[in-house]
Amino acid sequence: MDRHIEAFLEMMAAERGAARNTLAAYGADLADLAGHCARAGTAPASASAAVLQAYMAGLAASGLAPRSAARRRSALRQFYRFLLAEGVRADDPSAEIDAPRLGRSLPRGLTEAEVEALLAAADRHGHGSGLLARAALELLYASGLRVSELLALPRSALASEAPMLLIRGKGGRERMVPISAAAREAAHAMLAARERPHPFLFAGRGPRQPLTRQAFARLLKQVALEAGIDPARVSPHVLRHAFATHLLARGADLRSLQMLLGHADIATTQIYTHVLEERLAALLAAHHPLAG
């Protein structure tokens, strides 16, 4: 691996607490860049703006999705800013790279009635798996957790009656999220029915392993079928979207939602602004004197 890329990844891990998957993605992206630079007869640390622009143009010509190209651009920008900060370069050639045009990506949604149908189906699903499904659905929908955050919860997370949970999210960042009375009750019911103690709130097959994403995804699909909902529309991520869109539709603001979702940048949260736009349009239609 190029020594400058290696130093950059070490900085991302040590100083920014980047997650393993993030480091792997950045490493792969920058290795691809290094290959392009080698073919152009230069090294990544010495590449000109023209070399970088040719690289990005090649990605577009190869049919790479705009969102994937945007991630490559982000990796490049951070890498060359690092080289500039370290004094390896006196300029930042990545500053001249135009951002790929992204289509508007709106979350697939579930209605409030459909979430209620999922919860009711979990209650009918059977004692053990039904209790687990109910607790997981309640926590995902009430707190907006990522599936990785949900499955990493230790059993001790509910040891107190505090109204908030401490969550360790992406990059090791911590945040507080609310836990509803219904979610706490569902989790306690699941624990009470458990035959053997387990260190994780959502127990896997192994004595010290949490429930896997794959096993949880299969359970969600079964519950969706029983609720009469297309299983393709139901996933932990869709429930996180439902949490966000339903909060906004009922009056929450974007900054609060950013904190609850654990987004480092509010620009990530702004994908939900279509909900605010719809609410404002409805308010205008209902209350403006000339709306009729």
Round to whole Å and give the CA distance between 156 and 253.
31
Note if 146 is an active site residue: yes
- Among 67, 194, 233, 237, the one annotated catalytic: 237
Residue of 36, 72, 134, 240 with catalytic role: 240
CA distance 256 to 269: 10
Compute the distance between CA of residue 190 and CA of residue 201 in angstroms, rounded to an integer: 9
Active site residue 237: yes
Residue 272 annotated in active site: yes
Query: Which of the following is catalytic: 146, 155, 246, 279?
Result: 146
Q: Is 170 a catalytic residue?
A: yes
Q: Per the residue annotation, which of 81, 170, 175, 279 is the catalytic one?
A: 170
Instruction: Using the structure block, give the residue that is written with the tokens 């059977």.
Output: 126
3-state secondary structure the chain: CCHHHHHHHHHHHHHCCCCHHHHHHHHHHHHHHHHHHHHCCCCHHHCCHHHHHHHHHHHHHCCCCHHHHHHHHHHHHHHHHHHHHCCCCCCCHHHHCCCCCCCCCCCCCCCHHHHHHHHHHHHCCCHHHHHHHHHHHHHHHHHCCCHHHHHCCEHHHHCCCCCEEEEECHHHCEEEEECCHHHHHHHHHHHHCCCCCCCECCECCCCCCECCHHHHHHHHHHHHHHCCCCHHHCCHHHHHHHHHHHHHHCCCCHHHHHHHHCCCCHHHHHHHHHHHHHHHHHHHHHHCCCCC
Q: Contact at 8 Å (CB) between 268 and 67?
A: no
Widest CA span in the chain: 67
Q: Which one of the listed residues 26, 80, 141, 272 is annotated catalytic?
A: 272
Catalytic residue among 72, 184, 241, 263: 263
**Residues with catalytic function:** 146, 170, 237, 240, 263, 272
